[in-house]
Amino acid sequence: MEISLNSIPQTINGEVKLPASKSISNRVLILNALSDSDMPVENLSDCDDTNHMLEVLNSDDCHFNIGHAGTAMRFLTAFLSRIVGRWEITGSERMQQRPVGVLVDALNRLGAHIEYAGQNGYPPLRIYGSYLKGGAIEIPASVSSQYISAILMIAPYMANGLQLTLTGKIVSRTYIDMTIALQREFGAEISVKGHCIHVKPGNYRPVHYRVESDWSGASYFYELLAMTESGQIILPGLLPESLQGDSHQTEVWKQLGVHTRFTSQGVVIERKNSDPTGLKYDFTEMPDLVQSFAVACCIRNIPFEFSGVETLRIKETDRISALITELKKLGYILITGDGSQLIWNGERRQAQTHPRIMTYNDHRMAMAFAPAALKHPGLTIVDQEVVSKSFPTYWEQLSALGLEFT
C-alpha cells in the first residue's frame, strides 16, 4: 500500500507517544528468559522485532521464521545454542542475504554446534543446543555490535565464562555498553578493560524491569521540527541518563535548530532559529539515525559529510544505496566518498513532480522520508506498513501533530 500527505500544518505542536525501546526490550527478553523469571517485562515494545522474539521464546515449536527481524536472528541464534534441542531458524529473503558468519563461527569456537542450512555464512541455520564451554576468543567488532551482544548475554552460562577481545574498529560501542549494563542489572559479573571483556560463569537473577521509551523513534520528530519554521513537541518517557546511545542525538539536532529540554515526564523539543552552513558528524555510535539527518539536511539545504556509516550496508536494506536512490528523486545528488562516508555537497537537480519513495522493506526509510512531504507535497511513501518493525503507531502519531496521510 501507498500513503501520501493530504494536509500541511502551518506549525507543529503536540504530544507524541513513542514506542518502548526495541533495543532494550529485546535484550531484556533474553536476560529474562535466561533467569527463568516469571515476572513480565513492563512497557515492552510492541513492534515486529520484539513480537518475533516473544513468539520464539514462548513457542513449543523448533522451527522459527523471524521475517525481517535482524536483532532477533542474532540474539536467538546465541540463545538457542545453549538451549538443549535441535532448532532451525530462518527469515525473509533479505534476512537470508544478511551475514551471520562472524557470530556462528564465534559460537562454534565456544562449544556450540551450528550448521548452515543453505548458503555458508547466512541464514537459515540449524542449531543443536547444548553445553557451551566458553573460554577466550577474539571477534571482529567492525561488522555488527549485535554479534557481540548476542554472545555476551549467554556468556554467564558458559562453563568457563568468557574472555572476549574485540578486534578492529568497534562500531556501535554504546549498544555493547547497553548490553553489559543490563547484564549487570540481572546479576552478571563483568569486567571491561579497553577492548577486553571478561564475563564470569554464573546465573542471572529475576528482575522487575520497565523499558524506557525509544530514542531512535524520537529522531523522526526532531527531524520534523528541523524542517519547520516553528513548533514544539512533547515526547514522554525519554530519560536523560539513558542506556540508549541514540540519546546523544540531542546535541546534533541542536546544530540544526531543534533544542531539547528534559522534564520529569520526558522531553520537550522546540524549533529555534538556526542557519548552519553544513554538518559534519561521525555516526559510528548512532548509525540508525543517518537517514533522519540526511533527509533533514537535504530538505534544509545544509550540505553534510557523514562518516562511520559502513554498517548501513548490511541493515534491512543497503541504506546507503537506498538513500542515494530515493533522495535523487527529490533532486539531491549524494555520493559515498570512500564507502564509509555519505556526502552531500549541495549538488541539485530537478525533483520529480510526484516522487514515489521506495522503502525496501526498511522501516527507517519510511519514517525518515515521511517528514519530507512538508516540502514535497506530492511525495508518496510506498509500503507504509513497514513501520510496524519498530514503530507500529507512527502514522497515527504524525496525524496527532496535524500531518494527515492517506
Is the omega angle on the peptide bond into residue 392 within 30 degrees of 0, that is, cis?
no
Cα angle, residue 30 at apex, residues 25 and 36 outer, rounded to 5°: 120
Q: Which residues contact 241 (CB under 8 A, 6 or more apart)?
A: none
How many Cα atoms within 13 Å fall on the side-chain side of residue 167?
7
Helix 22-34 and helix 145-154, axial crossing angle in degrees, nearest 10: 20
CA distances from 176 to 78, 155, 225, 274 (A): 15, 14, 30, 34
CA distance 7 to 160: 61
Strand partners, 162: 135, 199
CA distance 296 to 298: 6
CA distance 58 to 81: 16
- Written as nine digits, the cell of 317 is 536494506
CA distance 47 to 44: 9
CA distance 94 to 318: 10
Q: Report which of 323, 326, 285 is spatially closest to residue 304, judged by C-alpha positions.
A: 323
Strand partners, 233: 14, 269
Q: Choosing from 288, 318, 362, 383, which is the catalytic residue?
A: 288
The reply to whether 48 belongs to the active site is: no
The 3-state DSSP class for residue 259 equals strand
CA distances from 187 to 23, 33, 36, 44, 196 (A): 19, 14, 13, 21, 20
The residues annotated as belonging to the active site are 288
